Amino acid sequence: MAILKIETLGAEVLRRRAHEIQPSGEDPELDRLIEDMFETMYDAHGIGLAAPQVGISRRLIVVHVNEEGEEPFALLNPRIVEAGKAKEKGEEGCLSIPNISAAVERPATVVVEGLDPKGNEVRIEAEGMLARCLQHEIDHLDGILFLDRLSPLKRNMLVKKYRKQES
């Protein structure tokens, strides 16, 4: 297992739509990537990580929100198939934009479908932090950052703050 380099704001891979990933049942390379992504996420104290964040333009996410009863999992080609009408604002940060966070409004509930690493279909009905995390990570697969969900004024302010801390 290895800790991978997390790409940060400005990296081109974070702004591209990631490519579908084909499960092949037993794929040691995919299994290793998933293990490395979990190790990287835990090392950075995150609750989710998308493959583009480690420079790999594939539709793969790993998630572990650490809520009661929630087990860590990886999803291939996840997509939101339903989003609740009710919205919630919640504080979000991102491993690719360290030390920056903001309140982001998102649907309070979502239904996500995808594949597990072995190619089995998975359907997750999520609410709370899990719903927020899934939406955030799936956004990464589409080249969207949480900053894009903010008003232009708030987004510009946070980008300036990020750039100042990075210089």
What CATH code is carried by the domain that includes residue 20?
A: 3.90.45.10
160 by Cβ neighbours in 10 Å (0-12 / 13-18 / 19+) ranks as exposed
Domain assignment present for residue 3? The answer is: no
Using CA atoms, how far apart are residues 34 and 30, in angstroms rounded to an integer?
A: 6
Q: Name the residue range of residue 33's domain.
A: 12-166
Model pLDDT, residue 166 = 85
Nearest to 91 by CA among 149, 30, 52, 45: 149
Model pLDDT, residue 96 = 98
Tens-level pLDDT at each residue, the chain (167 residues): 799 999 999 999 999 999 999 887 778 899 999 999 999 999 999 999 999 999 999 999 999 998 777 899 999 999 999 999 999 999 999 999 999 999 999 999 999 999 999 999 999 999 999 999 999 999 999 999 999 999 999 999 999 999 999 87
Please, which residues bridge with residue 104 across strands? 90
Query: Per the structure, how many domains does the chain have?
Result: 1
Catalytic entry in 105, 113, 137, 166: 137
Per-residue b/e over 30-41, b at no fewer than 16 CB within 10 Å?
beebbebbbbbb
Model pLDDT, residue 89 = 97
| Location of structure tokens 């920056």 | 100
49 by Cβ neighbours in 10 Å (0-12 / 13-18 / 19+) ranks as buried
Is-catalytic flag, 137?
A: yes
Domain assignment present for residue 143? The answer is: yes
Model pLDDT, residue 140 = 98
**What's at 102, amino acid-wise?**
A
Domain assignment present for residue 7? The answer is: no
Model pLDDT, residue 1 = 78
Model pLDDT, residue 42 = 97
> Contact, 74 vs 114, CB < 8 A?
no
Domain assignment present for residue 4? The answer is: no
